[in-house]
Structure 1
Amino acid sequence: MNWIIALVAAMLVVVSQVITQRRLLTITGILFIAFGLFVHTSIGIILAGCYIIIASFLPHRSYTHSLLGLAFFASILHYSLQQWLMNGVFVAALAGYASHLVAGMKFLPVNRRGVKLFAPIWKKEF
Structure 2
Amino acid sequence: MGWLFWALLSAGFAAATAILAKIGIAGIDSNLATAIRTTVILVFTWAIAIGLGKHGEIAQIGRRSWVFLVLSGVATGLSWLCYFRALQLGPASSVVPIDKLSVVIVILCAWLFLGESMTPMKLAGGGLIAMGALVLAFA
TM-score normalised according to structure 1 size: 0.33
TM-score normalised according to structure 2 size: 0.31
Higher relative contact order (CA 8 A, sep 6+): 2
Determine which structure has more spread, i.e. the larger CA radius of gyration: 2
Q: Which has the higher helix share?
A: 2
